[in-house]
Every structure is written in C-alpha cells, then in structure tokens.
Amino acid sequence: DYINVLRKRQKLVEAREHAQELFENDKENLYFKSQFAVISMQLGDYETALALFDQLLTAMPGEPVTLTSKGHALKTIGDTDAAISCYREACRDGVIHGEAWQSLANLKTYKFAESEVARMEDLLKNPALRKMDRVYLHFGLGKAYEDRREYDLAFSNYANGNQIKRAESRYIAQHMSEEFEEQRRVFSTLVPSREGFEAPDPIFIVGMPRAGSTLLEQILSSHSQVDGTQELPNILSAVHQLRSRNKDFDRLNYPRAIMDLSPDELRDFGRAYIEDTRTHRKGAPFFIDKMPNNFRHIGLIKRILPNARIIDARRHPLSCTFSCFKQLFAEGQEFTNDLAYAGRYYRDYVDLMDFWQARFPEQILQVEYETVVNDFESQVKTILDYCGLPFEPACLSFYKTERAVRTPSSEQVRQPIFKSGLDQWRNFETHL
C-alpha cells in the first residue's frame, strides 16, 4: 500500500527500494515481481524490467497483461518488432485483452491485416465484453479503418470509443475555463519576481497534446548538453500541494495560493523540483520536461524557476484537436473525449498562452509544428539559439538518436521528418 502511495506522489526511487525489498524477501511471489518490474520500467531500468517480465512469462506462459507490459518496454527502447510480437501474442485466439489490440494501433506504423480487423469486429459482438476492452477495440478499429481509407467507419469507431470514455468522466469544461481565467487574474495582480530557485537546467516543452512536442524533445535531446527525460509530473505535484494548502477546499485555491508564497517558499519549490527530477537525468547540464499540461502553470514555473526556458509547441487547431480525439490517453486529458470540449480547450489554451506571452515577454518560444516540417533546419537553429545551445548536426538527424521515448509518437520520431500527417484531419472534415 505504501509503495502505491509513493508511486502516486512520484517518489519512484523510494517506491522501487520498497518494491525491491518485498521482491528480495519473496522472489516467488508473482505480484511482488510484477510490481518491481513495472516500477523499474517507470524509472527507465528496462534491462531489469524485461528480465522480470521474462521470469513472469516463464511462470505464466502467454499471460496477456505481462506480455503487453513487456511490449510497452520494448516499444519504448525502440525494439518495435519484438514489441509487435508481444502484442500479437497477447491478441491470440481465445484471449480477450483489448489493450494489446490498441497498443498495436498506438504504434502508428503498424497496419492491421484483414483477419485482424475481422477478429476485432467479432470481439466487439461479445455482450460480456468489459467496458475498457470495448474502448480499446474501438480505437484499434478506428486506426485500422483509417489506414484502409474507410474514413466514415474510422470516425464511427473513434466516436464510439470516446463516448464510452466520456460517460465515465467527471470533466466539466466550464471549470477548466474558470481556472484559466483565475490564472490571468492572479498573475495580472502579482509583480514579476526572480525570487525563486535560479537553476537554468530545465527546458519545458508545453502545449496541447499531439502538437509535436515529442518531435521537439527528440531534436533537443539529440544535443550533447541536453538530457531527454519524459512527461514529468513534478509541476503537477506542486500544484496539488498548493491546491490543498487551504483546508476549506475550493477548486480555485490554486492558483490563488501562489499569491501567498514567500521568497523562501518559492525557492524551496524550485529546489525540490530540481532535486526530485534528478533521478530522470543522465548528467547533462540541461534537461527537458515535456509535460504538455504545464502550459497551464507557466506563471508558477516562472516564479519558482525564473531561469527556466519554455517552448510552446503549437499545431493547426483542427489537426491538433482531431489528433487528440483519435488518441486514447491512459489518464487525464479528458477534454479529448468530445470534439466540442477539445475545441473549447484549444481556444482557452491559445488565450492563456497569449496572456503568458504578454506577461513574460521574449521568455517563451512559440514553435509551429507545420513550420518545423516545412523549414526544418532553420527552425532547429532557432530552437537551439533560444536555449543558448551551440548548433550540433546530431539535432538534424534526431531520428538516429537512441533513447527511450514513452509517448504515442515514439515510432514517428524514429523516422525522418515527413509531411504526410499535416492534413490528415481533412479526410474527416465532414465529421468535424
């Protein structure tokens, strides 16, 4: 139980120490072994995780959940063929494990065979199918039909999967808009300050999901002075702390609580961020935090880490929002389950970014995905200049950089720049 609490608080190093203790005390316990494997994977220790997954599969041959987890680890380190083998084995006849089907779709580069499409359709007819298996299968079929250019069928499946997810959601678009408005009110009142922790290490890549942030991360992490990490939850953890400071709970305790932070508290929050993220770094002087939702918290970031660099990854609104709609996110990003919610969220995002740009002039770099694709080398140099980094040719051949990539774009950023994705949304224009 304590391990699970530590994981939720992103204290992964400490969680792994306790998981290892349980595992060492009882190496035959499959639950302890699985828990240790998953936490090892979260910390980037793929060698340990894969060895443990293999032990689990020796004890439980063909177990679909473990096969899928092993596939995730292999995909993340770039061994796509081996990942596909794991996912396909988890999809074998007689097994119902929707996540494995959706994981194949999530590779983006995988094309389903006719027989696989037929099997997914058959599985959907099972009245006893669990809700999440049904969601996974709809998203898998959406990708399959899109690849076959059967766009009406593809959209129908994306919409059905999202409808099931939306029915389980407690997301209220108005609440999100109110929080954005409160950010503007609070930071219109606060005098700009440099009282936080002055470390220059972090480069935040923010914006909407599916806006090209993984591409920018891969370009920058190909530089010798920059560590690529992952979508770090540490700023969101600080937000939760601030939101719960007032015992009379109010949705807007955050961002109001920022107004009460003393200079010492600002420095403590900034120092804690640098120390807690160190476990994800490999020793380069700079590192990337590419949690997209951090665009909501740029005011907080600039108060606790005044020297942080911030890159806003921007993409055409219909291209971006529809790409979100057809992406099944593991958790959060609930606005993506409805096209109207997605449109409203995009508009609120643009309005808030306009405010941050005015509040922190020349401190935030906006990078258009379409411009990067069409004018690649020039945009790479602009990004490096903004980050104060000398040009390195490796940033142009970013797709050759071997590193773990955990986002849905992992396979796409292992290929050279391609333009085919720019206008994919137009195939669905009648539905948007």
Distance CA(249)–CA(8), nearest Å, equals 21
The model's pTM is: 0.89
**Residue 109: its pLDDT value, please?**
87
The distance in angstroms from the start CA to the end CA of the chain is 44
On whether the CB atoms of residues 287 and 277 are closer than 8 A, the answer is yes
Polymer length in residues for the chain = 432
CB atoms closer than 10 angstroms to residue 230:
18
**Residue 413: its pLDDT value, please?**
52
Q: Give the pLDDT of the chain (432 residues) as one tens digit per residue.
A: 999 998 877 778 899 999 999 999 999 999 999 999 999 998 889 999 999 999 999 999 999 999 999 999 999 888 999 999 999 999 999 999 999 999 999 998 899 999 999 999 999 999 999 999 999 999 999 999 999 999 999 999 999 999 999 999 999 999 999 999 999 999 999 988 889 999 999 999 999 999 999 999 999 999 999 999 888 989 998 998 998 887 676 889 999 999 999 999 999 999 999 998 998 899 999 999 999 999 999 999 999 999 999 999 999 999 999 999 999 998 779 999 999 999 999 999 999 999 999 999 999 999 999 999 999 999 999 999 999 999 999 999 988 877 555 555 545 555 667 676 788 999 999 999
Closest CA to 338 of 141, 145, 213, 346: 346
**Residue 421: its pLDDT value, please?**
73
The tokens for 137 are 């299968």
Distance CA(23)–CA(346), nearest Å, equals 45
How far is residue 104 from each of residues 41, 119, 327, measured CA to CA in Å?
Answer: 19, 14, 13
How far is residue 358 from each of residues 352, 373, 388, measured CA to CA in Å?
Answer: 10, 27, 22
Distance CA(245)–CA(321), nearest Å, equals 34
The H-or-E segment that residue 424 falls in is: none
Dihedral over Cα of 327, 333, 339, 342: its sign = negative
What backbone torsions phi and psi does residue 90 show, to the nearest 5 degrees? -70, -10
Distance CA(235)–CA(240), nearest Å, equals 9
The tokens for 302 are 């600039």
Cross-sheet strand order for the sheet of 364-368: 226-227, 286-289, 202-207, 309-314, 364-368
